[in-house]
Amino acid sequence: MGRKINLFKEIRPSPREKILIYAAGICYILFISIDFIKFNPFNLSTKLKYLSIWICFGITLLRFFSFNRPGFSVEKKIGWINITAFFFTLSADYFLLFTEQYGLGITLFCGVHIARLYLFSTLKKGTKIIFGEAFFASLIFFVCRSFIIAIASFYGFLILTVTIMSFRKLTFLADRYPISKYLLQLGMIWFCLCDICVAAYNFPDLSYFISRLSGFLIWIFYLPAQLLLSFLIPPPLSK
């Protein structure tokens, strides 16, 4: 049997990161409660949701700037990828939460998974995967004549690719930060569960109960996924 993993202990959050974790937890409890009782003054639930993603971005920045060593390293590469992914995430969530520009929001979310795709592959290989999946999404567009369906299909191809690749052996961090593979796998699984709920919520032929339940579950899965992925950057080496 493998050893039991204490996730909170092994990610080694700093005191400031712990404060942000608790802040995200408070936001999580508040917006879930608001959504459950369906009392949402001043659109508070939406604002708390967006704030919680900024908190995850803050954790990512704290992890990144804890590395003060000069030169390039694998950790810095992961850091830049994660920062880029969260930049696209914040942009996408803004359009999805506060506007009706859903096509733009989904397009920006494609950028999230394109960035994380380069965790697993070289620039050349990753670009081939992206162009291949974009080609199939283009075929869907010519058949359906719907940009939303085409870009959602492209997004679906990307998140499935990243999720499958997250279960590969992550040799680049195997010795330094072995917990990374669990963070990636759990984060991407929860991300996929969130997107399944999004699809169910927007599917026209489902019952009212399933549609409402799916809408409620979206952020129950989404924020934990983002919180796990915000700790993808390894902590500083213990002295």
Domain ranges of the chain: 12-230
DSSP one-letter code for 43: G
Kindly list the distances between the CA atom of residue 85 and the CA atoms of 54, 55, 113, 119, 138, in Å, as whole numbers in the listed order: 12, 14, 7, 11, 24
Cα–Cα dist 178/184, whole Å:
11
Tell me what pLDDT residue 1 has: 44
pLDDT number for residue 145: 87
Q: Compute the distance between CA of residue 207 and CA of residue 81 in angstroms, rounded to an integer.
A: 40
| pTM (predicted TM-score) | 0.90
The closest alpha carbon to 112, from 90, 136, 79, belongs to: 90
Supply the pLDDT for residue 122: 73
Q: What is the pLDDT of residue 172?
A: 57
Q: What's the pLDDT at 58?
A: 96
Nearest to 86 by CA among 60, 63, 66, 104: 60
Looking at residue 169, what is its pLDDT?
A: 60
Q: Give the residue ranges of the chain where pLDDT is below 50.
A: 1, 239
> What tokens were used for 223?
């924020």
Q: Given this model, what pLDDT does residue 239 score?
A: 43
Question: Residue 133 corresponds to which amino acid?
Answer: E
CB 200 within 8 A of CB 210: yes
